[in-house]
Structure 1
Amino acid sequence: MNNETEKDFNLGGSIDTALSGQYQLSITSVFKEAWDCTIKHFLSFSPAIILLAILQLAIFFLALHFQVSNVTEIFENFAKNGKLPEGFMRSLYIANFSYEVISAPFYAGVSLMAMSHAVGLKTTTKQIGSGLQYTIPVIIVTLVSLVLQGIANLLVPVISLYLSLAFTNAGLLVCEKRIRPFNALWISLRAANRKLLQLAVIYAVIMGLFLAALMFYGIGLVLVLPFFFHVKGIIYRNMFGVRLKIVATPHDDSNDSGGENDQDKPSQIFNA
């Protein structure tokens, strides 16, 4: 007989508080907590980050190779002459677009792992595939977001930066709240507008960290990448909250000779 008791609860904000702007978003607190999460989960989280990076690079270069057969020669000529052949930038854009769309479910999986760390849960590398069950809606969200950013970039580039910031939580809303893609984009945008200045500062600092990491031959990315995902997870938790489930198993006195009380039995906590 199963005597387990389940209880759902929400940790952090909610959609209502996010849309009303009644959520906490202290820049220093977000960075401090994200750094603590990065250090605590560094060894267990890094393999997933590496797998995602390898996958994205493979998709990027395959997409580029299908368009340009002599990629190596082009980069060698660019190093010598500082010139790129006509149309090559368009090929780079298509390759970048391809890897972002195709790898979106795995990117969502890594984001979900970081979100779990933000609520005190541990993860394993295989959870990088946790976003695969949301493949279609996540790809739709990514596709629509990239198309809108691309159009905005042609008109007013600063609007493209704004949209990339405003849509940053849409993927997690699809996966964690099971919200439809277009609704997720709209909710993410409205919630971001409530704390736009704080979000802009946070992601501007992260962009600076990425640039600094690249200046040192990319070595710093081993810390910056997990830090970035943890920042995203903490922001999402503070904005929208994370649904969790507590599963408690009552103590059975007949099978225990130690006289342990029910209150001493630890509950298990899962993502709902």
Structure 2
Amino acid sequence: MSDPIEKNFNLGGSVEKALAGDFELKPISVISEAWQLTMRNFLTFSPAVILLIAIQAAIFIVALKLQIGDLSAILVMFQDPESLQPGIFQSIFVANFSYEVVAAPIYAGVALMAMSHAAGLRTETRHITKGLPFMMPVILVTMLNLLSQAIAGALLPFLSLYLSLAFSNAVLLVCEKRLTPVKALWTSMRAVNKRIFSIAVIYLVTMFAFVAGMMLYGLGLVIAVPFFFHAKGIIYRNMFGIRLQVVATQQDAPKQETEQDEHIDESDDDNTPPTSGTPRGGSNTFDA
């Protein structure tokens, strides 16, 4: 017989500390750790990132084709600016909005994987689907985020940039802290305001990484995108913390000896203890 013992703890900050500004967020440290995590998990994380990019690109192309029909019109636009059609930019905006919203659960899964790396857990490519259980709230929070940025951008472009930073933790708050979309956006904004400069510097570096990746014919995105997600995961860990769960299984052995196996999993809402001899997840394995 085995009597599983579960203990939850928080790695990093907490929502309360984040809202009070009681956390450290040094850009150099975050960037350095994000780079180390990117290199350490390159082979296991890259397939998920490539899959995310492929899904987003496919959705973008389909959404754009449904609106303008012949995609060659975009190439003609660059070759002959005078042939520019007024509705082309609106079509691109709608296509961009579509891929971000539709692919939001997959994006959330990749973000959760990077967050788990920041907690020292291993992940597998199949974990890209970990955002699917939160499909509706993730899609809703993404829509609210994009609409807010679009409205703000129509008034002041700088305000749209601010909102992109302010709401940057909302998706993870929905998935990891189980907050409602509106509360996640509000909580993220309040916490980001405490360290807005540091966060802006970190994301500015990731933007430069994206530019460098594009200059390498897009091949550099295989490193730039994981680097971005790892930076996001570290920021989230330091600000809001990551709930972890230690599951210890105590088994009776001959001569009344006791053996214990500890397994660290990311905390979830399932309070059902694992069956005897079958711990949830492997040691140091992400299992949202």
1:189-239 Cα deviation digits (max 9, x unpaired): 000000000011111111111112112211211111101000000000000
**Count of residues in Structure 1 that have an aligned counterpart in Structure 2:** 266
> Counterpart of 1:81?
80
1:62-211 matched pairs, under 5 angstroms: 62-72=62-72, 74-83=73-82, 84-211=84-211
Is residue 270 of structure 2 the alignment partner of residue 268 of structure 1? Answer: no
Q: Which residue of 2 aligns with 1:215?
A: 215
CA distance in 1, matches of 2:217, 2:81: 20
Gaps of 5+ in 1: none
Native 8 Å contact 2:2 2:252 kept in 1? no
**Cα separation, 1, equivalents of 2:251 and 2:65:** 61
**Is residue 49 of structure 1 aligned with residue 53 of structure 2?**
no
- Tell me the residue number matched to 1:33: 33
Q: What one-letter code is carried by the residue in structure 2 that aligns with 1:22?
A: D
**AA in 1 matched with 2:263:** Q
Q: Quote how far apart the aligned CAs of 1:251 are.
A: 4.8
Measured after TM superposition, the shift of residue 36 of structure 1 is: 1.1
User: Deviation string for 1:94-135 (max 9, x for gaps)?
Assistant: 000000000000100000000000000001111111001001
CA distance in 2, matches of 1:185, 1:173: 8
The aligned amino acid for 2:253 is D
Amino acid at match of 2:241: G
Deviations, residues 23-68 of structure 1 (Å, cap 9, x unaligned): 0101111011111111111111111101111100010000001001
Q: 1:266 Cα deviation (Å)?
A: 4.3
CA deviation string 1:126-182 (max 9, x = no partner): 111100100110011000010010000000000000000000000000000001110
TM-score (normalised: structure 2): 0.89
Instruction: Give the distance between the partners of 2:130 and 2:6, measured in 1 at CA.
Output: 22
Give 3-state SS (helix, strand or coil) of 2:123's partner: coil
What is the rounded CA distance, in whole Å, between the counterparts of 2:20 and 2:133 in structure 1?
Answer: 30
Superposition RMSD in Å: 1.5
2:3 touches 2:251 (CA, 8 Å); kept in 1? no
Looking at structure 1, the residues matched to 172 and 255 of structure 2 have their Cα atoms a distance apart, in angstroms, of: 42
Q: Once structures 1 and 2 are overlaid, which stretch shifts more, 1-10 or 49-58?
A: 1-10
- Closer/same/farther in 2, CA of residues 255 and 127 from structure 1, 3 Å limit: farther
- In structure 2, C-alpha distance between the alignment counterparts of 1:255 and 1:158, rounded to whole Å: 70
State the Cα distance separating 1:80 from its structure 2 match: 2.4
Gaps of 5+ in 2: 268-288
Instruction: Give the alignment's TM-score, normalised by structure 1.
Output: 0.94
The structure with the greater share of residues assigned to helix is 1
Q: Distance in 2 between matches of 1:255 and 1:30?
A: 50
Runs of 4+ off more than 3 Å: none
**Aligned match of 2:238:** 238
